[in-house]
Homo-oligomer: A and B are copies of this chain.
Amino acid sequence: MKECEVIKVQRFNAEEAKSALIENKVEAMGKLFKVLGDKNRLAIVCLLKESDMCVHEIIKVLGKEQSLISHQLKILRDSKIVKTSKRKNETVYSLDDEHIGILLKIANEHVKE
Binding site for B on A (CB under 8 A): 1, 4-7, 10, 12, 14, 17-18, 20-21, 24-39, 42-43, 46-47, 50-54, 56-57, 60-62, 80, 87-88, 90, 92, 97, 99-100, 102-104, 106-113
Contacts and interface: CB of A to CB of B under 8 A. Distances in A.
Given A21-B43, A39-B30, A57 B99 contact: no
Contacts of A100: 110
A37 B39 contact: no
B110 A6 contact: no
A2 B65 CA distance: 17
Contacts of A35: 37
B103 A47 contact: no
B54 A26 contact: no
